[in-house]
Amino acid sequence: MEKYTGKTVFNGIAIGRILYYAKEQEPIVRKRIEDTEVELLRYEQAKETAVKQLRELYEKALPEVGEVNAQIFEVHSMLLEDEDYNESVTNMIRSQKVNAEYAVTKAGEHFAEMFSNMDDAYFRGRAADMKDISERVTRILLGRENTGEMGTEPVIVAAEDLAPSETVKMDKSKLLGFVTRFGSINSHTAILARTMSIPALIGIEIKKEWDKKQAIIDGKEGIFYVDPDEATLLEYRKKKEKEEERKRLYQTLKGKETVTRSGKKVRLYANIGNVADLATVLLNDAEGIGLFRSEFLYLESKDYPTEEEQFQVYKRVAETMAGKKVIIRTLDIGADKQADYFGLEKEENPAMGFRAIRICLARPEIFKTQLRALFRASAYGTISIMYPMITSLEEVRQIRRLSMEARQELEAAGITVGQVEEGIMIETPAAALISDQLAKEVDFFSIGTNDLTQYTLAIDRQNPSLDEFYNAHHEAVLRMIHMVAQNAHAAGIWVGICGELGADMELTETFLEMGIDELSVSPGYILPIRKIILDAK
Ligand code: PEP
Ligand code: MG
């Protein structure tokens, strides 16, 4: 038995087999080869294996996700057989005498770039596929057998690092928990784990040979066991049973109004990243959705999601919540949330860079597509729109002009639009300090304590070595929250908290005293917080 300690992202116990998630970060090096025929043969064999893998994946996916979704593997097979692509690889091997993995990588990059510059959205979408297939062949060539693909059994994923775009693509029903070496507890990957209520630890030295071994995550104590002995397994199976029992007890709080003993009511909403999270939202009796991080929709896609695609998702969320409030945050991409097709430049300081509303205002066609989808969906439930990363009044006015345009265009086309509240996130010190002025322009505030803490304390939330300095209980942060609440109420609007601090149970009573009207937290925290509020004075 091996025992490791790490930092807790989400508590809870997971018991299961490890899936070592191999990230192909080691750069592919150009090597000169003498025997081109041998290299060509290596390429042909790797390609054959890739086609075989894709066939197997197609057959496995078909009953699980249906024909339309499984087709992606067929598309990949076809792209692998593409004549131009193959010629590009083999020519490079022959004429430049380079190793096959280098030629495949270069051809993949070249074709991806070519596709991403095409006008047709279908072809632009193929850019990421070209990269995918090249990576598959390269993996085979390098003998990196483990593809990180999830099988049918639920697993504990062990990875050096996980980007939000990778986490969001994982099949949640097969994910028992995850452990990573890198990543910070305030990163979006960590937030995703909390949203899915899965036990997760960071700061664990990951070993490739753990693959398929039995393991236990103790999220509460921050311990990870590999190959646990019988006694430890038994102990944790008992602990897990107790955990399940506690969850059942919390279930008795379902349907209860979230109100203190003296009658102060707080709305308890849930944070979600996609439609799949709705199941835990309903299970935990959220009174609404306080933050739908819509950018995950973009991260799951290989190209800009169309108005219709977005409309279907927002409509589904609105309908599922059956009239309860659903606050959808507009695209907050950039920093740690990257999608290739946006073509964003590498930045020195991405957290303070070209992100979120800055991108939306610079590229209004992307923004208006989303706004139109949101307004259309508003006819099917109670949708509110929330804008991220606000720093000035001018931004808010510009946003309101664009949103007005989107609404009017739809109405002129005879499309029904519902009543939509429009609010902003208060997550920069600038917005907090001018919240008295901003409050006059919008319908509500939602305080994003994750970024507010990062910018107030000048601490990169992505940097794990700064976790101990990331003190969201800092007096400066708490004073700002209080000030924002006072300014909101003075202007007659409501104020909530949707950052992770909203779920900090040590502060629940403080937030009640400040007059916070809504707390939006990961679904798994709703019932425990309801219990605290019911017991509060
Ligand atoms: C926040 O910054 O507190 C927030 C809720 O947004 P995100 O974590 O997605 O940046
Ligand atoms: Mg934020």
What is the per-residue pLDDT for 149? Answer: 64
Ion ligand 2: residues, Cβ under 5 Å? 427, 448, 451
- At 416, the pLDDT band (50, 70, 90 cuts) reads very high
The atom number, within ligand 1, closest to the CA of 500 reads 3
pLDDT at 60 > cutoff 80: no
What is the per-residue pLDDT for 24? Answer: 55
Shortest-distance ligand to the CA of residue 477: 1
Pocket of ligand 1 (CB under 6 A): 191, 291, 293, 332, 427, 448-451, 498-499
What is the per-residue pLDDT for 25? Answer: 56
519, with CB counted inside 10 A (0-12, 13-18, 19+), is buried
Q: What is the mean pLDDT of residues 198-217?
A: 94
> 395 with 439, same domain?
yes
Other C-beta atoms closer than 10 Å to the C-beta of 43 total 22
> 344 with 459, same domain?
yes
The atom number, within ligand 1, closest to the CA of 427 reads 2
Distance 354 CA to ligand 2 centre (A): 14
Distance 388 CA to ligand 2 centre (A): 7
What is the per-residue pLDDT for 344? Answer: 87
Q: What is the dihedral of CA 440, 446, 450, 451, to 10 degrees?
A: -30
> 158 with 230, same domain?
yes
Please identify, among 142, 175, 199, the residue that sits at the C-terminal boundary of a domain: 142
Nearest CA to ligand 1 atom 6: 448
User: Which tokens in the block code for residue 35?
Assistant: 């025997």
pLDDT tens string 444-498: 999 999 999 999 999 999 888 888 889 999 999 999 999 999 999 999 999 999 9
- CATH assignment of the domain containing 107: 1.10.274.10
Kindly report the pTM of this predicted structure: 0.77
What is the per-residue pLDDT for 59? Answer: 84
Q: What is the mean pLDDT of residues 185-194?
A: 86
Kindly state whether residue 245 falls inside one of the protein's structural domains.
no
Kindly state whether residue 29 falls inside one of the protein's structural domains.
no
- At 405, the pLDDT band (50, 70, 90 cuts) reads very high
> 352 with 462, same domain?
yes
Distance 185 CA to ligand 2 centre (A): 14
Distance 266 CA to ligand 1 centre (A): 21
* 190 Cβ neighbours under 8 A, 6+ residues apart: 9, 10, 183, 184, 200, 202
Kindly state whether residue 28 falls inside one of the protein's structural domains.
no
Instruction: Provide the domain count of the chain.
Output: 3
> 164 with 133, same domain?
no
Lowest mean pLDDT among 83-87, 437-441, 495-499: 83-87
Q: What range does the domain containing 197 cover?
A: 2-23+148-239
pLDDT at 137 > cutoff 80: yes
What is the per-residue pLDDT for 49? Answer: 92
Pocket test for ligand 1, best of 291, 338, 427, 501 (most atoms within 8 A of CB): 427
What is the per-residue pLDDT for 69? Answer: 67
Of 473, 474, 482, 498, which one is the catalytic site residue? 498
Instruction: Based on the residue annotation, tell me whether 110 is a catalytic residue of this protein.
Output: no
> 75 with 196, same domain?
no
Distance 293 CA to ligand 2 centre (A): 10
The candidate with the shortest Cα–Cα distance to 226, out of 209, 250, 238, is 209
Instruction: Based on the residue annotation, tell me whether 188 is a catalytic residue of this protein.
Output: yes
The candidate with the shortest Cα–Cα distance to 137, out of 221, 215, 76, is 76
The atom number, within ligand 1, closest to the CA of 498 reads 5
**How much of the chain, in percent, has pLDDT values that exceed 70?**
97
Dihedral (CA of 118, 119, 120, 126) sign: positive
pLDDT at 61 > cutoff 60: yes
| Between 25 and 204, residue with greater pLDDT | 204
Pocket test for ligand 1, best of 167, 329, 424, 450 (most atoms within 8 A of CB): 450
Q: What is the mean pLDDT of residues 82-106?
A: 93
pLDDT tens string 321-370: 999 999 999 999 988 888 888 988 889 899 999 999 999 999 999 999 99
Distance 121 CA to ligand 2 centre (A): 29
> 104 with 168, same domain?
no
Mean of all residue pLDDT scores within the chain: 92
Please identify, among 239, 267, 294, the residue that sits at the C-terminal boundary of a domain: 239
pLDDT at 109 > cutoff 80: yes
User: Which tokens in the block code for residue 208?
Assistant: 């490739």
Kindly state whether residue 244 falls inside one of the protein's structural domains.
no
What is the per-residue pLDDT for 23? Answer: 66
Please identify, among 101, 124, 142, the residue that sits at the C-terminal boundary of a domain: 142
pLDDT at 305 > cutoff 90: yes
> 108 with 156, same domain?
no
Q: What is the mean pLDDT of residues 399-408?
A: 98
Crossing angle for the helix pair 100-116 and 36-80, to the nearest 10 degrees: 30
Lowest mean pLDDT among 114-123, 193-202, 501-510: 114-123
> 297 with 342, same domain?
yes
> 204 with 276, same domain?
no
- At 145, the pLDDT band (50, 70, 90 cuts) reads low
Spell out where 338-420 has E strands.
382-387
Kindly state whether residue 303 falls inside one of the protein's structural domains.
yes
> 259 with 200, same domain?
no
Kindly state whether residue 31 falls inside one of the protein's structural domains.
no
> 137 with 278, same domain?
no
* 112 Cβ neighbours under 8 A, 6+ residues apart: 127, 128, 130, 131, 134
Dihedral (CA of 505, 506, 509, 510) sign: negative
Of 188, 360, 473, 474, which one is the catalytic site residue? 188
> b/e map of 250-270 (b: 16 or more CB within 10 Å)?
beebeeeebebeeeeebbbbb
The count of residues in the chain is 537
The atom number, within ligand 1, closest to the CA of 450 reads 3
